[in-house]
Amino acid sequence: MFRVNPISGGMAQDIPQQRTRGALSNRPGRYELDSVAEDDGWAADDEPAPPLRTMVTADATRSVITRNDSPDVGFDRSINPYRGCEHGCVYCFARPTHAWLGLSPGLDFESRLLCKPEAASLLERELRRPNYRCLPIAMGTNTDPYQPVERRLRITRAILEVLSAFGHPLTITTKSALVLRDLDLLAPMAERDLVRVAVSITTLDRGLARRMEPRAATPQRRLDTIRALAEAGIPTAVMVAPLIPVITDGEMEAILTAAREAGARHAGYILIRLPLEVSDLFDEWLRVHFPGKAGHVSSLIRQMREGRLYDPSWRKRQTGTGAHADLLAQRFRVAARRLGLDRDPPPLNVDRFRPPPRAGEQLRLL
């Protein structure tokens, strides 16, 4: 098998498709020289691509809390246990971060992951610093903390154990039903007003979800996850994200209604974001799966991004601008108000934060 670099002239339809993967190619990152893989004659045109296995490498990071000062997000710190995401969502705005590692934002992003095995111990060290000021930590803001590899590595679980022991508040955003594994930690934290969870739903169409986000939970599983979280007493929201014009935006009201019936009490939405390499990867996907609609989708995105495929401006990047973006915002407001999903979520409690004594510390006080 060989891969064709579409940037250098290969057609998207000629790229061997990987089952259970989202991206159709492994385009080089913006820091790499363009290259073309030549056909060496070993692979026949009709030979199926071999399975693309996931490889995981330890990330030797020295800290685990990432800070930001963005004025249009509701947190100033986050934790991402993994770089790259096995869910393979073709539209993922985090894909370009793999270019920093010398890897492709395409198939590499979903098959060559970096994990932070020491995340829990690094977190504990940071939380014990005398000058640490407690504010909610966000998880799932870049890559999903409950992607499939978490089932085996349990790094997110270890982080939750530290946050629970310290009485530290957090928010979680996920597409995965694996979050239910940690109900034994999350439910008691919710009783102390320490946690909120948002479940992202892009479509209710199982077939579309399979093509667009191939290793994420099915839409029904996500609704079941909302129901289980709500029944456990955990404040739960639905994120209709991303909204993709023509492809998924018509489902907005149906997704909100289904999530409300499942137990969601809050809601939000985000317009599709196509920074850097994601725009070409998404266009490639569109032209294979929706060839008759690709031009229309791109045109509407540009109308909502001031003539570009992406506008990174704060307060615009989440919802866009222009007539079509205003219509989406109005539809969301009307539906959310009708369903009672327009209320702000309850504040998380920062006053419960207390670093627990280290082993042996209490004995030294006697």
Q: What CATH number corresponds to the domain at position 230?
A: 3.80.30.30
- Say if CB 167 and CB 194 are below 8 A apart: yes
Domain total of the chain: 1
Distance CA 332, CA 342 (A): 9
Instruction: Decide if 356 is inside a domain.
Output: no
- The edge-to-edge listing of strands for the beta sheet with 112-115 is 55-58, 112-115, 82-83
pLDDT tens, residue by residue, 65-120: 999 988 878 889 999 999 999 999 999 999 999 998 999 999 999 999 999 999 99
pTM, rounded to two decimals: 0.88
Residue 237 within any structural domain of the chain? yes
Tens digit of pLDDT for each residue in 221-274?
999 999 999 999 999 999 999 999 999 999 999 999 999 999 999 999 999 999
**Does residue 363 lie in a domain region?**
no
Single-letter amino acid code for the residue at 123: L
**What b/e readout covers 238-267, taking b as 16+ CB neighbours within 10 angstroms?**
bbbbbbbbbbbbebbbebbebbbebbbbbb
Q: What is the pLDDT of residue 270?
A: 97
The verdict on residue 143 lying in a domain is yes
Residue 364 lies in a domain: no
The residue segments making up the domain with residue 247 are: 6-344
Domain assignment of residue 352, yes or no: no
In a domain, 60, yes or no: yes
- pLDDT tens digits for range 155-182: 999 999 999 999 999 999 999 999 999 9
